[in-house]
Amino acid sequence: MSGCYEPIPTPALVSIQPTPTPPTIIKPTTTGPGLYPAGWIPPVALERSWSAIIIHHSATTYGNMAIFDKWHKEGNGWNGVGYDFVIGNGTYSGNGQVEVTFRWQQQQTGAHAGGTPGNWANEKGIGICLVGDFNRTVPTERQMQSLVRLVKFLQARYKIPASQIYGHGSVPGGHVTDCPGKYFSVTRFKAML
Ligand SMILES: [Zn+2]
């Protein structure tokens, strides 16, 4: 099986039946220009105090949230896709389309950056996966535009400084991985913020 995720156990198995999105109470946001999609804002009653953002590639040339959800359930035995957000590359979702996962909507602990002390990267880090194998290609321009918009929103909402934005492989204390790939420059990305 491919992908950058690691075979770490998730805590308590939670029901994986699709549940209707709970009613969302949307706080007015004053962050940045324009309105943000409501799905980016979790139900306020559940909202965690996130302190980091961790960027991944899928290490596959194609995919979308549903495909990774299936792989992570069947291949890793997890309760669903490990990331909070998935940004498509035009294969099985739109080029630059941001999909919001159940994990974000329910504010669950992530399953995308294992090995850190106290599992901090999964507890406190928001996991964003761009579809693509960035050891072979660069992200699409639209993926990068969406990533910038999403990360700016998350930074503003949770007061996350640029120093707390990581590529998966540079997460302090995390497992060794080349994710998000040699053609994804975290430094260049941060310069776009
Ligand atoms: Zn990764």
pLDDT tens digits for 78-124?
999 999 999 999 999 999 999 999 999 999 999 999 999 999 999 99
Q: Is residue 158 part of a domain?
A: yes
Question: What is the pLDDT, as a whole number, of residue 137?
Answer: 97
pLDDT tens for each residue of 19-73? 555 444 444 444 445 578 889 999 889 999 999 999 999 999 999 999 999 999 9
Domains in the chain, number: 1
Mean pLDDT of 9-16: 50
Q: What is the pLDDT of residue 88?
A: 97
pTM of the model: 0.84
Q: Look at residue 106 and tell me if it is in a domain.
A: yes
Q: Is residue 36 part of a domain?
A: no
Distance 30 CA to ligand 1 centre (A): 31
Distance (Å, whole) CA 69 – CA 78: 9
Residue 155: Cβ within 10 Å count: 18
Q: Is residue 176 part of a domain?
A: yes
* Beta-sheet strand order (sheet of 125-130): 95-100, 85-89, 125-130, 52-57, 165-167
Looking at residue 38, its pLDDT comes to 83
What are the residues whose beta carbon lies below 5 Å from ligand 1 (ion)?
4, 56, 168, 179
Question: What CATH number has the domain bearing residue 72?
Answer: 3.40.80.10
* Domain ranges, residue 131: 49-191
Separation of 28 CA from ligand 1 center, angstroms? 32
Q: How many angstroms separate the alpha carbon of residue 113 from the centre of ligand 1?
A: 7
Contact in structure between 101 and 69 (CB atoms under 8 Å): yes
Find the 58 Cα to ligand 1 centroid distance in Å. Answer: 7
Q: What is the 91 CA–ligand 1 centroid distance (Å)?
A: 19
Model confidence at 3, pLDDT cuts 50, 70, 90, reads low
165-184 as b/e, with b when 16 or more CB fall inside 10 Å? Answer: bbbbbebeebbebebbbeeb
Q: Exposure of 156 by Cβ count < 10 A (0-12 exposed, 13-18 middle, 19+ buried)?
A: middle
Q: Tell me, what's the pLDDT at 120?
A: 97
16 assigned to some structural domain:
no
Whether residue 37 lies inside any domain: the answer is no
Is residue 86 situated within a structural domain? yes
User: Stretch 173-183: mean pLDDT, rounded?
Assistant: 97
In a domain, 174, yes or no: yes
